[in-house]
Amino acid sequence: MNSQRNKFLALSLASLVILSAVLLTLSREEDRLEIDPSLFAIAETEKIDEVRFVRAGDTVDLSFDGTRWKVNHQWDADVQLIKVLMATLRQAQPHRPVASVLLDTVNDRLARKGTHVIVSAAGATQLDFIAGGNDSKSEAWFKKTGEEQPYSMIIPGYRVYVSGIFELGASGWRNKRIFDFNWRNFKSLTATYSREPKEGFSIEMKQRYFGIKGMEEADTTRLNDYLDAVSLLLAKRFVDRDHPKGDSLLRTGPVARLEIRDIADRIYGIELFAPGKEDSEVLGRLLDGQWVVFDRSEVPAIVRRRSFFLPEQPR
């Protein structure tokens, strides 16, 4: 009796295992057949000339003016980030549909915290979807605008939060190079220091080389290294809105100011404020009022004093 019962149980178990394997195989095959890997992809990204992001009532507009990408038609965009954006639009693929038991939760989160992405070329919409993800940014979701089914998204071969690029604010998209202009048009640079006014200086072209105004001879190596450091100065990040320390810093005033003029007398400049002893960052402000953050280690090379450029005296 027990022997027959054991045989029956073993046969039943084997049948269940086989049935489960068949159903799993069929479901996986069904998933592969149902999901188009190019559902959110654009093959010819070189034709894209506008990408708009709308998130939490804020709009960021990236547009190509025929020469370069602009942020909100005002600032130059970060070229490397534009490349990342285009690569994402080419390569992002749906990994699986969000399970039905999670649909309400995911759709609610996308509605509240997602980014509406509209990709256009020559005025025609190429792609329109909502991007978002979970709090830990370990899973990204895309959903076509007007549809109810979101998908878990991946970029094959990479462990990356796919929606991250769509969550940047306007300041995140800006070109981080502070003095990004044609340096062949350089006319002059003036550095002023509020606490050490005598250490201020002006650099200008003297016949065929750069020199310090009022200094008969300057250390050309140090001068060229300084101009290189200024030309390559990068922001760590821009601050979207008024910085919380802004009012107090403005009352005390900047400790340094750099102002560059080109041959057309356009002015590019920044004010720098004294950091606290333990601060790893330095706050600055562009002449248009935009707050910017620098790594503290980047600043010493651009706040040289006049005495730094004096040629070394022979021993």
For the chain, give the mean pLDDT: 88
Could you read off the pLDDT of 23-70 as tens digits, one per residue? 454 445 444 447 899 999 999 999 999 999 999 889 999 999 999 999
Calculate what percentage of the chain has a pLDDT beyond 70.
86
The structure tokens listed for 150 are: 């979101």
Average pLDDT of span 167-175? 92
Could you read off the pLDDT of 27-38 as tens digits, one per residue? 454 444 478 999
Q: Is 11 a residue whose pLDDT tops 70?
A: no
Q: Which of 182 and 125 is assigned the larger pLDDT?
A: 125
**Torsions phi, psi of 270, nearest 5?**
-150, 145
Give 160's contacts (C-beta < 8 A, 6+ positions apart). Answer: none
| Dihedral of the alpha carbons of 125, 126, 130, 136, in degrees to the nearest 10 | -140
Q: How far apart are CA 56 and CA 71, in angstroms?
A: 18
Predicted pLDDT of residue 198: 96
Calculate what percentage of the chain has a pLDDT beyond 90.
73
Could you read off the pLDDT of 66-106 as tens digits, one per residue? 999 999 999 999 999 999 999 999 999 999 999 999 999 99
Predicted pLDDT of residue 207: 75
Query: How many C-alpha atoms does 181 have within 13 Å on its Cβ side?
Result: 18
- pTM for the whole structure: 0.76
Q: How far apart are CA 216 and CA 30, in angstroms?
A: 80
Tell me which amino acid residue 291 is: W
Tell me which amino acid residue 128 is: D
Domain boundaries along the sequence of the chain? 45-173, 183-309
H helices present in 160-295, as ranges: 170-173, 220-231, 246-252
Residue 162 CB burial class (10 angstroms; 0-12, 13-18, ≥19): buried
Q: How far apart are CA 255 and CA 194, in angstroms?
A: 5
Average pLDDT of span 154-160? 95
Could you read off the pLDDT of 252-281 as tens digits, one per residue? 889 999 999 999 999 999 999 998 888 899
The structure tokens listed for 10 are: 């073993």
pLDDT tier, 12 (very low <50, low <70, confident <90, very high otherwise): low
Could you read off the pLDDT of 189-212 as tens digits, one per residue? 999 999 999 999 999 988 778 899
